[in-house]
Amino acid sequence: MSPRHESPVALITGAGRRVGAVIAWRLHAAGYSLVLHYRRSAAEATALAEALEHVRPGSTLLLAADLADADAPKRLVDGVLAHYGRLDALVNNASAFFPTPTASATRAQWDELFASNAQAPFFLAQAALPALREAQGAIVNLVDIYAERPLAEHPIYCMAKAALAAMTRSLALDLAPQVRVNGVAPGAVLWPSDGKGYDDQQALLARTPLQRAGTPEDVAGAVLWLLRDAPFVTGQILRIDGGRTLSV
């Protein structure tokens, strides 16, 4: 293990792009040094790390891993500790998302969706637990409002996120008082990368009291608050959805 790094250290999974990258920027601006995990987004993660290093040299570490691999959580945490000597925060952001209609869903799809959305977050928390306890640290899981209100044609994804929500509350109970565990459940923040029809987007926003889509910055702000500014909050899942879950 390296000598203990001066700044608090956060490991963010799926940090190379989209919401994960914005979370990285927000935590970095707040003084965290970062471990940026990625799987396929090597170019994006490298560009992000270079930009962050330009702001504050020596503040980022890139680690690649397929979270479906059973040994990935331990390798990631070992890499963090070898480089920084500490781990203060774990942000389980990486997530697979695609439809799985019940009539055609496969076991391979089940395995892929549960691997990133439930299995990896649990075993990352397990691997990180000694370091997080030493740091009196925190975990934030990126859940989804669909864990409570299922999305049509996505039963496996919804079940996996529901498992993550249950895990958030269970670990909050089991890891207290040294480690706090919370979740963030975004509503419409970023449309899926394969696109969403304009009419579908407008119908969704019409059911949102604040009448707009959220932004990745909305999510990142909630993550930072839970990690840094909410010392008496654990076992909670914040809905960052513009009030959408208030309506039917």
DSSP assignment of 216-228, as one string? HHHHHHHHHHHHH
Tokens of 119: 């299995």
CB 158 within 8 A of CB 146: yes
Alpha carbon dihedral 24, 161, 188, 20, in 10-degree steps, equals 10
- Across the beta sheet with 237-240, the strand order is 60-64, 33-38, 9-12, 89-92, 138-142, 180-186, 237-240
d(CA 146, CA 159): 9
Per the annotation, the verdict on 157 as an active-site residue is: yes
**What totals of helices (H) and strands (E) does the chain contain, helices first?**
8, 7
From the CB of residue 138, how many other CB atoms can be counted at a distance below 10 Å?
Answer: 24
User: What φ, ψ does residue 191 adopt, rounded to 5°?
Assistant: -70, 150
Phi-psi region of 211 (alpha: psi -120 to 50; beta: other; left: phi over 0): left
d(CA 106, CA 103): 9
Q: Which of 32, 146, 157, 198 is catalytic?
A: 157
The residues annotated with a catalytic role in the active site are 157
